[in-house]
């Protein structure tokens, strides 16, 4: 994923929106889910969306912090300022990634610009110290994602982690997909996934959804600058590239395109 500002480009590999979140439509027809999303790794990428809870990294099932080994020195925090662009691997939350970088640099302050879902890999911009004041400028920049959509299923999370809620035997042709993409280009209204970090009455939407509550999220404006069908390796999968602004969920793009196509 490529994050750009007016005067500079951050080109690591981080991924959307969006960094993870979802919502259900009333359309009973088609389904689609994101299999894997990533930012092109240019050596140098979601947004949206402030992040997921950090995964537990100790061995205590209750999540309690492990006690420091006797005699182990306490590491003093330092005033570290600047940006690190981390090539975040699949399986790591953005919050956990920040914690790891902060610990490695012994930094007093750190935060990430945008969110990559655990299933996304790519460049995650992490700011430390005084650089955290410039996070809003990076957040306002464009992000670029490459993602694969699996046709034939819709899941409650809009990605492969969720529970299948609808199925379809229809498979779209490359022509049908390409003809539809202009409807999802420019300024559009998008309903975020119900499994997202958006707050509803002070609670994260994904926490409410995991507790079995029905999450009603309102559509909100997002901007898709470019959306391209890159490859169709087989009838059940399509690879896309999207360049978009903040707040965009590529999982929601997959969901909405699949519903219109009936697959």
- Alpha-carbon distance of 237 to 229, in angstroms, equals 11
Bridge-based pairing state of the strands 120-128 and 110-112: antiparallel
Choice among 16, 18, 87, 117 that is catalytic: 117
Contact 136, 235 (CB under 8 A): no
Give the C-alpha separation, 235 to 170, whole Å. Answer: 10
Nearest to 15 by CA among 189, 242, 188: 242
Which of 146, 135, 152 minimizes the C-alpha distance to 235? 152
β partners of residue 154: 166
Give the pair of three-digit tokens for residue 87. Answer: 């090539």
Sign, CA dihedral 153-155-159-163, equals negative
Contact 131, 83 (CB under 8 A): yes
Residue 143's CB is within 10 A of a number of other CB atoms, namely 35
Contact of 177 with 261, CB cutoff 8 Å = yes
Q: Cα–Cα distance between 198 and 227 in angstroms, integer?
A: 24
Residue 117 appears among annotated catalytic residues? yes
List active site positions: 117
């Amino acid at each position: 994923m490529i994050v750009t500002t007016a005067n500079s480009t951050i080109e690591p590999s981080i991924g959307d929106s969006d960094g993870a979140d979802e919502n259900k439509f009333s359309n009973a027809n088609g389904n689609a889910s994101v299999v894997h999303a990533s930012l092109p790794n240019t050596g140098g990428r979601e947004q949206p969306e402030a992040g997921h809870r950090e995964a537990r990294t100790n061995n205590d099932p209750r999540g309690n912090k492990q006690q420091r080994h006797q005699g182990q020195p306490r590491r003093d925090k330092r005033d570290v300022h600047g940006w690190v662009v981390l090539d975040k691997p699949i399986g790591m939350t953005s919050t956990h990634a920040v914690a790891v970088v902060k610990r490695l640099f012994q930094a007093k302050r750190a935060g990430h610009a945008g969110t990559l879902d655990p299933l996304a890999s790519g460049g995650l911009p992490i700011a430390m110290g005084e650089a955290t004041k410039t996070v809003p400028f990076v957040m306002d920049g464009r992000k670029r994602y490459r993602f694969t959509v699996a046709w034939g299923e819709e899941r409650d999370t809009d990605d492969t982690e969720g529970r299948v809620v609808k199925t379809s035997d229809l498979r779209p042709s490359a022509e049908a997909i390409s003809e539809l993409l202009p409807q999802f280009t420019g300024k559009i209204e998008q309903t975020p996934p119900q499994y997202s970090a958006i707050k509803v009455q002070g609670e994260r939407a994904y926490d409410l959804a995991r507790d079995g509550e029905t999450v009603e999220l309102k559509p909100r404006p997002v901007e898709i600058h470019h959306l391209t069908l890159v490859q169709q390796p087989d009838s059940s999968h399509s690879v896309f590239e999207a360049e978009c602004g903040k707040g965009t969920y590529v999982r929601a793009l997959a969901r909405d395109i699949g519903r219109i196509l009936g697959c």
